[in-house]
Amino acid sequence: MGQNPKDRDYRKEYLRDHASPAQKKDRATRNAARRTMEDRLGSAAIAGRDVDHIRRLKGGGTNAPSNLRVMSVRRNRGRNN
């Protein structure tokens, strides 16, 4: 079973997992990729789906449209990265 939400320190989790400058930059990059695909395909085409980088950002990939694809959440998050 999961933790009781009353026992969790959400502020500590945020600071640990989301608040560092590097994490903010990564999140901004992912959001920019999503906006790029929304502009290209329309928001209805990607609603409920993930935008995937064909070549990972950490592996030298970019947010160029040629490096982006739309995938189901299950397929994108379930594969080995």
Task: Note the pLDDT tens digit of each residue in 29-56.
Answer: 999 999 999 999 999 999 999 999 999 9
Residue 2 belongs to some domain of the structure: no
In a domain, 49, yes or no: yes
- Please tell me which residue, 1 or 73, carries the higher pLDDT value: 73
pLDDT tier at 13, thresholds 50, 70, 90: confident
Is 48 a member of any domain?
A: yes
The C-alpha atoms of residue 15 and residue 22 are separated, in whole angstroms, by 12
**Residue 16 reports pLDDT greater than 60:** yes
Q: How many domains is the chain partitioned into structurally? A: 1
β-pair partners for 69? 52
Domain of 56, in residue numbers: 9-78
Residue 64 confidence class, pLDDT cut points 50, 70, 90? very high
Which pLDDT band holds residue 65 (cuts at 50, 70, 90)?
Answer: very high
Please indicate, yes or no, if residue 73 is contained in any of the structural domains. yes
